[in-house]
Amino acid sequence: MQFPRIHLNGSHGPDLRQSYIKAMHAVHDAMVALQQIDLNARDYYPLGASAFTVACDESRARYKALATVHAQLEEIAENITEQMP
């Protein structure tokens, strides 16, 4: 992963770190919202026997993708923190 480098001509370290933390919190909120979706088999059975299983698998994949983005943002914020005096 490519991390930003804090230097005199670049972004102010604390501001840059805060931007990543803010994005990380927004992704976390999306993860919570996704978990609160009540998948109900009755909403899928007209589509066929496997439709609910597919919907559950897709929901898990969306959550996993968000978790990956969250972890990357956290890693970037930590790297920025390590660069600051």
Taking only the tens place, the pLDDT of each residue in 17-63 is 999 999 999 999 999 999 999 999 999 999 999 999 999 999 999 99
Residue 56: what pLDDT? 98
Backbone angles phi, psi at 12, to 5 degrees: -70, 125
Please tell me the distance from the alpha carbon of residue 15 to that of residue 55, in angstroms, as a whole number.
39
Residue 85: what pLDDT? 87
Structural domain boundaries of the chain?
13-83
Q: What is the pTM of this model?
A: 0.92
Q: Which two tokens stand for residue 28?
A: 């976390």
